[in-house]
Structure 1
Amino acid sequence: MIDRTGLAEFLRRRRESLQPEDVGLARGARRRTNGLRREEVAALCHMSTDYYSRLERERGPQPSEQMVASIAQGLHLSLDERDHLFRLVGHVPPTRGGSGDHIGPGLLRVLDRLVDTPAEITTELGETLRQTPLGVALTGDLTRFRGNARSIGWRWFTDPSARARYPEEDHDHLSRMFTSGLRQIVGQRGRESAAGRMADDLLGRSPEFRRLWDQHEVGVRPQEPKRFMHPEVGLLELNCQHLLDPEQSHRLLVYTAVPGSESHEKLQLLGVIGAPV
């Protein structure tokens, strides 16, 4: 059963504790609001201002689990706070683990400050949860996929277009890397996990994956620099830095180019061009 009073108070306190810069918003010169405005939180949570406002006023319908997850992410809640929010609404909190979608507030704060840098947050299965604008310009919108297709490793073996952003001479190594990475996760999580189910699905779909899976390779690392083939600016050679959130096994991937290099100039051009429409 929903605790309307507890929910309203919790949402209001969390909203008032956040500042615009905490969530990647600009602070206006005439700002007088203590914390974020309701309309700002509603936009962050991908809902109408009226819907969010009714929750703070102890009104409206019981939010769905998907809506609660969106609120938790928009308010930059920790996992403990997210679970508390689910219970206030009357739902069972999602299971924690490497396949969870909830991004920790620390990673979100870092990502929000990387406005002029290609960066993304991914799950251990290579599912992109969030990208910076320049990240979208570099690789396209990788958050649009659903189901197994959310994983770059799954798309790599099932959708030929997934390979278009990478030089052809790198494809063999990337195939080995994706297979090796998935095998390692299956070893950690078990055959009944999401990783195990994905491996079984790929074994039935891709002869290339089956051949590489049978080699039992683990520990195949990404090549440095990481190379992208962009449809408008061509080849980019970028270094990739990782920041790991051990609670959710999420990774923040940040791509940089050597200053003064041709790839650095191309990144600057991408910042002007933006993502393809």
Structure 2
Amino acid sequence: MARAELARFLRDRREGLRPEDLGLPAGGGRRTPGLRREEVADLARMSVDYYVRLEQARGPRPSPRILGSMADALRLSPPERTHLFRLAGVPPEPPAGPPRHVRPYVAGLLHRLPATAVVVTAATYDVIAWNPLAEALLGDLGARSNLARRRFLFSDEVLTTGHEEFGEIAVARLRAAADRYPRDAALAALLAELRAGSAEFNEIWATNPVRVPGHRTKTMTHPELGRLHISCDILSVPDDDQQVVFMTAEPDTPTARALHHLADRSLRERGGGSIPPRTR
């Protein structure tokens, strides 16, 4: 165990956190930045003495349970969590499940793009945030929020070209998620549902497709506006294993005019002003 490096990492992370980010009072005569050692120990459900000894490079090798508790208390990202385990000389534990909360800066990105349809998807293909134009384009994302279910189980899929390709992309991402999150009950239930309900899903799964995010052009059939030619581009959020999907159209095309129409209508329906994104 690299005790000195582990101690430095814990100390730096603790001092880099703001108390208010964790619902703790920001005042109280704090003489140093970040959290107090007592606060971290309380959040991690461990003794203050043990945590202090870890920060002073005097403690014994922490168990996986203790490391997991400290990672949760210090709000470590998945890469930071893996780094913590490696510093302690303990094999990294698989995460309990993929993050399903959207960071404020990602949600703000949706807010700043009212003329672009944008969704954020978790590793399970759950849509966890979207802007009004995305819902106007794709339908009720609150009630039908998982894109893999929409692709393999629903008969009224709006995608008419790029359908087969998205099937392979979805399976490749879900296979990767199953490897990373073997303990996630919601993911296991989703995969069981897809296996039971879609022969096509099983066929694609058996081929173990390899697909990476990139630019795609798709044709969608909108119930009001008809056929739309949509450009899809992906921005990955590696720390949270999420993807931001931007749906746009080539300038000065019928699809571009249709998207502007949907965006203007969404704005009018909300009485003007900014259009906030929706998150789960």
Determine the C-alpha separation between the residues in 2 that align with 1:181 and 1:234: 30
Determine the C-alpha separation between the residues in 2 that align with 1:133 and 1:142: 10
Q: 1:133-154, CA deviations, whole angstroms, 9 ceiling, x for partnerless residues? A: 1111111121234xxxx42112
The structure 1 residue matched to 2:159, chosen from 159, 162, 166, is 166
In the other structure, the counterpart of 2:190 is 198
Q: Classify the secondary structure of the residue corresponding to 1:237.
A: strand
Q: Classify the secondary structure of the residue corresponding to 1:103.
A: coil
CA contact (8 A) 1:97 1:247 kept: no
Determine the C-alpha separation between the residues in 2 that align with 1:181 and 1:259: 31
With over 3 angstroms needed to count, the CA separation of the structure-2 counterparts of 1:127 and 1:176, relative to structure 1, is: same
TM-score, L = length of structure 1: 0.56
Q: Classify the secondary structure of the residue corresponding to 1:160.
A: coil
Determine the C-alpha separation between the residues in 1 that align with 2:201 and 2:23: 48
Q: Classify the secondary structure of the residue corresponding to 2:246.
A: strand
CA contact (8 A) 2:171 2:201 kept: yes
Q: Classify the secondary structure of the residue corresponding to 1:251.
A: strand
* Residue 157 (1) aligns with residue 126 (2): no
CA contact (8 A) 2:136 2:262 kept: yes
Determine the C-alpha separation between the residues in 1 that align with 2:212 and 2:126: 19
In the other structure, the counterpart of 2:9 is none
* Residue 234 (1) aligns with residue 226 (2): yes
The structure 1 residue matched to 2:176, chosen from 178, 184, 189, is 184
The structure 2 residue matched to 1:249, chosen from 241, 251, 254, is 241
In the other structure, the counterpart of 1:3 is none
CA contact (8 A) 1:238 1:255 kept: yes
Instruction: Report the Cα offset of residue 97 of structure 1.
Output: 6.5
With over 3 angstroms needed to count, the CA separation of the structure-2 counterparts of 1:191 and 1:11, relative to structure 1, is: closer
CA contact (8 A) 2:162 2:218 kept: no
Determine the C-alpha separation between the residues in 2 that align with 1:175 and 1:193: 22
With over 3 angstroms needed to count, the CA separation of the structure-2 counterparts of 1:115 and 1:154, relative to structure 1, is: same
TM-score, L = length of structure 2: 0.56
With over 3 angstroms needed to count, the CA separation of the structure-2 counterparts of 1:266 and 1:240, relative to structure 1, is: same
CA contact (8 A) 2:96 2:184 kept: no
Instruction: Report the Cα offset of residue 204 of structure 1.
Output: 2.3
In the other structure, the counterpart of 1:105 is 104
Task: List alignment gaps of at least 5 residues for structure 1.
Answer: 1-5, 14-78, 82-94
CA contact (8 A) 2:215 2:234 kept: no
Of the two structures, which has the highest relative contact order with CA contacts closer than 8 Å and spacing of 6 or more? 2
The structure 2 residue matched to 1:219, chosen from 208, 211, 233, is 211
With over 3 angstroms needed to count, the CA separation of the structure-2 counterparts of 1:132 and 1:258, relative to structure 1, is: same
Determine the C-alpha separation between the residues in 1 that align with 2:184 and 2:263: 42
Q: Classify the secondary structure of the residue corresponding to 2:164.
A: helix
Aligned length: 187
Instruction: Report the Cα offset of residue 250 of structure 1.
Output: 1.9
RMSD in angstroms over aligned alpha carbons?
A: 3.5
Task: List alignment gaps of at least 5 residues for structure 2.
Answer: 1-18, 27-73, 77-93, 270-280
Instruction: Report the Cα offset of residue 128 of structure 1.
Output: 0.9
Q: 1:33-65, CA deviations, whole angstroms, 9 ceiling, x for partnerless residues? A: xxxxxxxxxxxxxxxxxxxxxxxxxxxxxxxxx
CA contact (8 A) 1:184 1:218 kept: no
Instruction: Report the Cα offset of residue 124 of structure 1.
Output: 1.5
Q: Classify the secondary structure of the residue corresponding to 1:225.
A: strand
With over 3 angstroms needed to count, the CA separation of the structure-2 counterparts of 1:118 and 1:239, relative to structure 1, is: same
In the other structure, the counterpart of 2:136 is 137
Q: 1:163-204, CA deviations, whole angstroms, 9 ceiling, x for partnerless residues? A: 1x111x443333333223322322333476644443233222
The AA in structure 1 aligned to 2:108 is R
Q: Classify the secondary structure of the residue corresponding to 2:119.
A: strand
Asked which structure has the greater CA Rg, the reply is 2
Determine the C-alpha separation between the residues in 2 that align with 1:254 and 1:172: 20
